[in-house]
Amino acid sequence: MSLTLDLADDLLVCDDLRTLTLKIEGQGDVLLSKCVLDEPLLVKEMEPAHGQVPQTDRRFHWPQKRSVQPPLGSVLVDEAGTYWTILAVEHRNLVQTWAARARNLAVISAVANTATLLKATYGKGRANEAMAQWVGLFSGESPPTEEDTVPARFQPFSEEAELIFGAEWTKETYRVIFDQAVPMELAGGEYRMIDKDGFRYRIVKYVNEQRIDRLPIAIAIRILEGPEYWNQGPPVDS
């Protein structure tokens, strides 16, 4: 007589099983009701940013028969509303479960961790030249509205100084880490950012836009000279 070992439901005898929602692009949400066992793995900084950009990894286990194998980039949403992006999935054949390694990335919510995004529209100057006028990226309004302000961490990266024709010129470069991707091309002369102190920044590079394991980052230079700085007026406290 042969003995068939069926462990498919053994996970369900564990205590403290959680309820999560599985979100797969192009499909309806799947409620994983009281069948998910989670395992803390890692908490660290995604980027050196004074502890303001934490990366938290966890592993989630649930019975295979409760869902299809989730594609990478799918999301698990826990009871607190935290989104966990799935980076790797393993099929535990013996116990018939999915084991998904997932990551939560976020910029800590604080007044200092915000950026107001602008885009250029063009009018005519006194000499009939094209002149940039800055409006909110999302609202299209001037001045920008709350709709144009997103969570982002301005992290100082480098500072350079040199003498040009006897005057000192300073270049301050920042890595600006966004809480989520901005859905358009950000780099280039058509866009600006404003930090909480009112300083403006030119965006020279925008990376990681479609990565599931990293937050998007803009490389930006603080505007400290030229007509744009003086025409807009320096920050009140500068």
CATH number, domain of 142, equals 2.40.10
Residues 138 and 62 in one domain: no
Q: Name 116's Cβ contacts closer than 8 Å, sequence gap at least 6.
A: 136, 144, 148, 149, 193, 194
Q: What is the pLDDT of residue 3?
A: 47
In this structure, are 127 and 46 located in the same domain?
Answer: no
Give the model confidence (pLDDT) of 160-217 as tens digits: 887 777 667 788 999 999 999 887 677 778 899 999 999 999 999 999 988 999 999 9
In the block, tokens 């869902």 appear at 67
Q: Number of folded domains in the chain?
A: 2
Domain assignment present for 5 = no
In a domain, 3, yes or no: no
* Angle, CA of 191, 194 and 200, to the nearest 5°: 75
Rounded alpha-carbon distances, angstroms, from residue 194 to 80, 114, 132, 197: 31, 9, 16, 8
Residue 84 resides in a domain:
yes
The answer on 217 and 125 residing in a single domain is yes
Structural domain range at position 224: 114-232
Q: Is residue 237 part of a domain?
A: no
Total-model pTM: 0.83
User: Is residue 107 within 8 Å of residue 214, measured between CB atoms?
Assistant: no
The predicted structure's pLDDT at residue 70:
97
Six-digit token string for 80 = 């607190």
76 and 132 in one domain? no
Residues 6+ apart with CB under 8 A from 32: 19, 20, 21, 22, 62, 66, 67, 76
Separation CA 136–CA 159 (nearest Å): 28
Write the pLDDT tens digit of every residue in 52-89.
Answer: 999 999 999 999 999 999 999 999 999 999 999 999 99
* Inter-residue contact 32 to 19 (CB < 8 Å): yes
| pLDDT over 60 at 6, yes or no | no
Last residue of one domain, picked from the residues 83, 105, 127: 105
